[in-house]
Amino acid sequence: MEENLFRPVRKHGKRRWLIALLLIVAAAAAAWVVVFRVNRFSLSVIPEGPGDTILEYGQTFTDPGASVLLRGSLFWKDGIDPGVEVRTEGTVEDGHLGKHTITYSAQLRSLRASASRTVRVVDTQCPVITLTPDDPEDLLPGKDYVEAGFAATDNFDGDITDRVIRIEEEGLVTYAVLDSSGNPAFAERKIPIVDRTPPVISLIGGAEYSFAVGTCFADPGYSAEDNMDGDLTDAVEVSGEVDWLTPGTYPVTYLVRDAVGNEASLTRNFTVRGAARQDTVTPKGKVIYLTFDDGPGPYTHALLRVLKKYDVKATFFVVGDESPELLREIVNGGHSIGVHTASHDYEKIYSDPQAYFRDLYDMQETIRRETGVETWLMRFPGGSSNTVSRRFSKGIMSTLTRAVEDAGFRYFDWNVDSDDAGNAHTAKQVRENVIEGLMNHRVSVVLQHDIHDYSVDAVEDIILWAQDRGYRFLPLESDSPTAHHGVNN
């Protein structure tokens, strides 16, 4: 009974399934018609990378290949990879100049497509011209110029020396060449000029040059000219030394070479003149030379009044240029005036002989300018026996004591010290020190300083004491006793 009820139902379900299947097939067929009939397809081959390529000769070409795209008019407009093989025809021979073509093709059923790539192998590198250097030893005067040679090479053509065009003009050779691709190369060579003419040296001031001892040495100068190189003054080599502190003749040689080795030399003789040494004349009787250092100062005028009162002549070793009127008053009063240097700066003047002489001459010129007197009397700051100069230049006093006299100066020390620059600080102490010293000498050179009032205040008593005992007062002159100390540096 149950079996009969279900049998018609199953038969009806099979029929529905069959109808559905037929409908699916019909739909697929319709879709196929739409896709493959209505949607028209095209096949394209697209080269990868740049299309047409320029390749420099000598470089290696690597083919980037190509790809395939399938496009439809309704669907897949942007294209899809159909997965078909790309066939390649043609090669690029990168060792051969010219145009090379590579063809790419593909097929999908009835669809076919192709594309091509053009590769041009070119040569744009210029040749190289090499010049063989000229050998100066082969260049002789009076002979025609024969160059050492040249060569030309090209990356493609190789040796192209035989293609070089050579043009020789006055003083210059020009070389030009083209390779087979039209690339040019140029080179120039200056024709060497045979130069056998040495430079010429000129000595400013002549070949004989003289100056006095103590004149700080400076070469008067020179120049050098060459027919090819022009001014060679800066290339002059100077050899030889001049001892401007010691009389004598000193040769100095000047040597210069031009660019090709021609040389010239001259010798100049520098004569350092020394002054004749002055003989010392010792005066008769009991004589006092009053000397005052480090002025003029605030008490100099008062000192001059005292000296005038007793008609006593003294000697002033002066410094600086701040009181020109007092310098004139000293000279107009009939007193001797001498140089005690311009600065009295130990560290400066005793640093080296050149510094000392500059300072010495500066003060000598100040005296000449302000008074009209060219004095050659002098006294070293600290005296010739000073040891403070050791701090600044070892042995300088041994040099200076000799050199100043060779220069014409007469230096004076003292044999009576008032000690007014040391332990004496009152007129009484100065008076006692001076009188004690006077009693020990027939001819006395007394050291005082007119920058100390107590020393100036003692002068009148010293004069009175000495005159009562028959002493004469004299100013120092170039032949006076020098009272030299022993040199300690």
Is the pLDDT reported for residue 444 higher than 60? yes
- Among 36-45, 88-97, 115-124, the minimum mean pLDDT is found in 36-45
Q: Please state, rounded to an integer, the average pLDDT across all residues of the chain.
A: 90
Containing 230, the helix (H) or strand (E) segment is strand 230-231
Instruction: Please state, for a pLDDT cut of 90, what percent of the chain lies above it.
Output: 72
- Among 19-23, 274-278, 421-425, the minimum mean pLDDT is found in 19-23
**Number of structural domains found in the chain:** 4
Residue 315 and residue 407 share a domain: yes
More confident residue, 143 or 188: 188
pLDDT tens readout for residues 340-355 = 999 999 999 999 999 9
Q: What string of H, E and C letters represents the secondary structure of 379-438?
A: CCCCCCCCCHHHHCCCCHHHHHHHHHHHCCCEECCCCEECCCCCCCCCHHHHHHHHHHHH
Residue 479 belongs to a domain: no
Q: Residue 25 — pLDDT band, cuts 50, 70, 90?
A: low
When computed from its CA atoms, the radius of gyration of the chain, rounded to whole angstroms, is 57
pLDDT computed for residue 136 by the predictor: 67
Pairing of strands 41-47, 66-72: antiparallel
Is the pLDDT reported for residue 9 higher than 50? no
pLDDT computed for residue 39 by the predictor: 65
Domain boundary among 141, 171, 190: 190
Is the pLDDT reported for residue 85 higher than 80? yes
Residue 158 and residue 217 share a domain: no
Residue 185 and residue 162 share a domain: yes
Residue 2 belongs to a domain: no
Residue 139 belongs to a domain: yes
Residue 78 and residue 58 share a domain: yes
pLDDT computed for residue 21 by the predictor: 74
Domain boundary among 136, 167, 190: 190
pLDDT computed for residue 2 by the predictor: 44
Q: How far apart (Å, rounded) are the C-alpha atoms in residues 387 and 310?
A: 37
Residue 207 and residue 107 share a domain: no
Is the pLDDT reported for residue 441 higher than 80? yes
Q: How far apart (Å, rounded) are the C-alpha atoms in residues 44 and 373?
A: 117
What is the CATH number for 296?
3.20.20.370
Is the pLDDT reported for residue 5 higher than 50? no
Residue 250 and residue 369 share a domain: no
Residue 404 and residue 302 share a domain: yes
Residue 486 belongs to a domain: no
* HSE-CB of 83 using CA atoms within 13 angstroms: 0
Pairing of strands 410-411, 377-378: parallel
More confident residue, 29 or 253: 253
Residue 390 belongs to a domain: yes
Residue 214 and residue 241 share a domain: yes
What is the CATH number for 210?
2.60.40.10
Residue 398 belongs to a domain: yes
Domain that holds residue 149: 128-190
337: Cβ contacts below 8 Å, ≥ 6 apart: 315, 316, 318, 327, 330, 331, 367, 371, 373, 375, 377
- For residue 488, give the 3-state DSSP assignment: coil
Is the pLDDT reported for residue 227 higher than 70? yes
Q: Residue 3 — pLDDT band, cuts 50, 70, 90?
A: very low
